[in-house]
């Protein structure tokens, strides 16, 4: 019953025919398939899916496919995906007591097929106009989704043991849709290229140059990055494209990939880093001259370094502010101690707090103890990483989840309570942990992130102030302006006038 239900699910999910037959007899596979998407059980001829595809059938192809007995034999070992004329595809899977044909489908991305049948192989003739109309009606899906679906009934019959391991999606794709000759050709080309380079005395660009570039971005050293990019070095970039423009685009993609990871290691949120990467690569793809492409990806590298620099400057200010507050508190405490005890005649009676202590639940979070345990775990991990030669200390997992939540909810009002509930912590504990790890309060961090996004919208868009305020969950435009001024010392209007890029202003005037 589970198998039949899974086949019906495939039919619904892929919007195509799923033909199911018991035993070795394949003659019944075409029963009742006209004008409806169905699961057909030979002998019973039961339709388990009643929704139809209007004016659609594949009768011209399914009968000739059934004559391909070698395909059914191969499908006993591994699901077989094959194409007709490299335009649409079917799959054959073998269950313990039946064979299943799934299709036709078209894939959303260009796909290579190991098994291709031509219409001539099948003895099929088609009228071009009718066939073009029919082909447009063939359902489209993603290859990964298709393979995931066809594996569902197969793996339901397996238990995942060594005797009956689950069939993996990767294995099915490798067997049916990967041109392994290309991989072999790549190995041959690699051997030839290495030999030719040694013979000609040609070397790649030095790795140390890349390391210096990465280090400048990771530390926010904009001036250092400028010096590195101006360096002249021996060697040259490898051949990454078929023509100069494609070559420069691919070099840019590599540079942006390295720069984005360096910026993340420098403290930039990964969503910001990846968004810059996405936009930069899209802009390079639109461009058709080498120098402009080069300018685009170098500009993105400078943007990464600047963002990390600003981030580190903000962190330094917050740390200094936190330290100053702490020192001020300690000084006040010392002064209070220095005053000495009150005179006996004026002393207030001691407050009995035993009844308060008794009311504290035993399982209540012990903030000091939990923070101490977190610190010990962090030190232990740092020590282990140092032994392994990895000097990067990962961010506390609760803090990472907290920051991720904030980043994805900047468009609304965010409270400590809702963040704590989302990541499964008690609000007071989260606040204490965040302050300890980040040297600032959670509320201050949220406001800082909102202001950072406001800066971005002011510089890179023409959105009116009221719209930005509403988008980011401020009570009003004046509320946003007040918060922005506290953070930056400028009004939104002053900031936009000072930093908005000319190309955005021109685009606005052209509209």
Across 27-31, 437-441, 460-464, the highest mean pLDDT is recorded for 437-441
Across 86-95, 221-230, 390-399, the highest mean pLDDT is recorded for 86-95
The band of 481, judged by pLDDT with boundaries at 50, 70 and 90, is very high
| Mean pLDDT for the stretch of residues 321-346 | 59
Tokens for 159?
A: 């238990």
| Mean pLDDT for the stretch of residues 135-142 | 91
Q: Is the pLDDT of residue 489 over 80?
A: yes
Q: How far apart are CA 196 and CA 198, in angstroms?
A: 5
- Tens digits of residue pLDDT in 83-93: 999 999 999 99
The band of 355, judged by pLDDT with boundaries at 50, 70 and 90, is very low
**132-146, 206-220, 287-301: range with lowest mean pLDDT:** 206-220
CB 132 within 8 A of CB 138: no
Predicted pLDDT at 88:
94
**64-73, 265-274, 390-399, 483-492: range with lowest mean pLDDT:** 390-399
| Mean pLDDT for the stretch of residues 395-399 | 78
For residue 15, CA distances in Å to 12, 51, 227, 268 come to: 5, 10, 57, 43
**133-147, 264-278, 367-381: range with lowest mean pLDDT:** 367-381
Q: Does residue 61 or residue 232 have the better pLDDT?
A: 61
Three-class SS state of 286? helix
| Mean pLDDT for the stretch of residues 374-397 | 56
Q: Is the pLDDT of residue 44 over 70?
A: no
Tokens 């106009």 correspond to 129
| Mean pLDDT for the stretch of residues 407-421 | 86
Q: Is the pLDDT of residue 476 over 80?
A: yes
Peptide linkage before 413 cis (omega within 30 of 0): no
| Mean pLDDT for the stretch of residues 382-386 | 54
Q: How far apart are CA 92 and CA 80, in angstroms?
A: 5
> Is 0.85 topped by the overall pTM?
no
CB 23 within 8 A of CB 60: no
Predicted pLDDT at 364:
38
Predicted pLDDT at 339:
53
Supply the Cα-derived Rg of the chain in whole angstroms.
Answer: 33
CB 21 within 8 A of CB 42: yes
Helix residue ranges, H only, 339-441: 354-358, 367-388, 397-408, 416-423, 427-438
Dihedral sign computed on CA atoms, order 163, 169, 174, 177: positive
3-state secondary structure labels for all residues of 61-129:
HHHHHHCCHHHHHHCCCCCEEEEECCCEEEEEEECCCEEEEEEEEEECCCCCCCEEECHHHHCCCCCHH
Q: Is the pLDDT of residue 80 over 90?
A: yes
């Amino acid at each position: 019953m589970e198998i039949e239900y899974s086949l019906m699910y495939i039919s619904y999910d892929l919007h195509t025919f799923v033909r199911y037959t018991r035993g070795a007899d394949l003659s019944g596979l075409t029963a009742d398939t006209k004008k409806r998407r169905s699961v057909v059980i030979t002998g019973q001829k039961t339709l388990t899916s009643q929704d139809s595809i209007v004016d659609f059938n594949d009768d011209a192809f399914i009968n000739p496919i059934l004559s391909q007995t070698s395909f059914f034999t191969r499908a006993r070992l591994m699901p077989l995906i094959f194409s007709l004329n490299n335009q649409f595809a079917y799959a054959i899977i073998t269950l313990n007591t039946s064979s299943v044909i799934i299709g036709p489908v078209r894939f959303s991305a260009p796909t290579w097929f190991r098994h291709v049948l031509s219409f001539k192989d099948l003895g099929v003739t088609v009228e071009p106009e009718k066939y073009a109309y029919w082909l447009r009606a063939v359902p489209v899906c993603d290859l990964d989704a298709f393979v995931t679906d066809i594996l569902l009934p197969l793996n339901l019959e397996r238990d995942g043991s060594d005797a009956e391991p689950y069939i993996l999606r990767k294995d099915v794709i490798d067997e049916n849709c990967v041109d392994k000759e290309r991989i072999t050709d790549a190995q041959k080309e690699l051997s030839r290229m290495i030999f030719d380079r040694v013979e000609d005395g040609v070397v790649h660009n030095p790795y140390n140059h890349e390391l210096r570039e990465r280090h400048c971005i990771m530390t926010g050293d904009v001036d250092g990055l400028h010096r590195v990019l101006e360096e002249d070095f021996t060697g040259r970039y490898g051949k990454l494209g078929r023509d100069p423009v494609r070559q420069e685009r691919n070099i840019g993609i590599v540079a942006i990939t390295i720069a984005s990871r360096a910026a993340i290691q420098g403290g930039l949120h990964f969503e910001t880093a990846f968004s810059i990467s996405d936009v930069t690569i899209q802009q390079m793809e639109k461009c058709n001259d080498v120098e402009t492409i080069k300018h685009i990806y170098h500009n993105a590298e400078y943007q990464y370094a600047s963002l990390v620099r600003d981030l580190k400057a903000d962190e330094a200010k917050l740390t200094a502010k936190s330290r100053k507050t702490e020192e001020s508190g300690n000084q006040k405490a010392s002064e209070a101690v220095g005053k000495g005890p009150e005179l006996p005649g004026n002393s207030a009676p001691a407050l009995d707090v035993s009844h308060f202590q008794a009311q504290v639940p035993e399982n209540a979070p012990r903030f000091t103890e939990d923070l101490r345990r977190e610190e010990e775990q962090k030190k232990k991990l740092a020590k282990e990483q140092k032994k392994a030669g990895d000097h990067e200390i990962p961010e506390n997992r609760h803090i990472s989840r907290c920051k991720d939540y904030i980043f994805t909810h900047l468009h609304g009002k965010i409270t400590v309570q809702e963040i704590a509930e989302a990541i499964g912590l008690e609000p007071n504990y989260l606040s204490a942990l965040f302050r300890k790890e980040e040297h600032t309060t959670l509320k201050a961090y949220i406001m800082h992130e909102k202001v950072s996004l406001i800066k971005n919208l002011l510089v890179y868009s023409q959105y009116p102030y009221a719209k930005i305020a509403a988008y980011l969950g401020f009570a009003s435009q004046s509320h946003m302006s007040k918060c922005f001024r506290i953070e930056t010392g400028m009004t939104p209007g002053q900031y936009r006038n000072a930093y908005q890029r000319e190309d955005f202003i021109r685009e606005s005037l052209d509209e």
